[in-house]
Amino acid sequence: MKKLLTLIFISGLFFGEIQGQNTEEKMVSQAFDKLIVGMIKADAMDLSSVVSEDLSYGHSSGVIQDKAAFLQEVVSKNPISYQTIERESETVQVSGNTAIMRNLLIIRGLSPTGDPINLRLATLMVWKKEKKQWKLYARQGFRLPA
């Protein structure tokens, strides 16, 4: 419950930013909200609903995962159990059924041994509209200094 309240609070911080977006851009941002909730809850069904079957998920370490590997990693909470994912900034560009999203993210979580993990990442995501729903198609992240 505490995680959900944190997410609602964080989402509220970005409401003003989302207001300036057009309808499709808002829908992409909302799909990203669902992805964040799924990652924090470690819920495969929530995640699967916003992730393309053809997902290519690139980590800052160079590891690239498909949908099954990404879902397994998040649900297993290894190497990280997500506690919060905050956005420092976000841009969304929509062209037809494709959208490009750029974010600066602050991620806080725990390792499997309970050690705190704090990451600052820049991400580039490609979203694809599939049957009127935006799904994450590709993502690449890289670490930034804290």
Question: Mind listing the pLDDT tens digit for each residue in 71-118?
Answer: 999 999 999 999 999 999 999 999 999 999 999 999 999 999 999 999
pLDDT at 3: 56
pLDDT at 113: 97
pLDDT at 49: 96
Rounded percentage of the chain residues whose pLDDT exceeds 90: 84
Q: Which of 10-19, 43-52, 63-72, 102-111 shows the lowest mean pLDDT across its residues?
A: 10-19
Question: Mind listing the pLDDT tens digit for each residue in 56-74?
Answer: 999 999 999 999 999 999 9
> The pTM is what?
0.85
Residue 146: partners with Cβ closer than 8 Å, 6 or more residues away: 118, 120
Give 57's strand partners. 65, 139
Residue 43: partners with Cβ closer than 8 Å, 6 or more residues away: 37, 75
Residue 136: partners with Cβ closer than 8 Å, 6 or more residues away: 31, 32, 35, 50, 51, 52, 55, 57, 125, 126, 127
Give the residue from 24, 18, 23, 45 showing the smallest Cα distance to 34: 45
Neighbours of 57 (CB within 10 A): 22
pLDDT at 16: 41
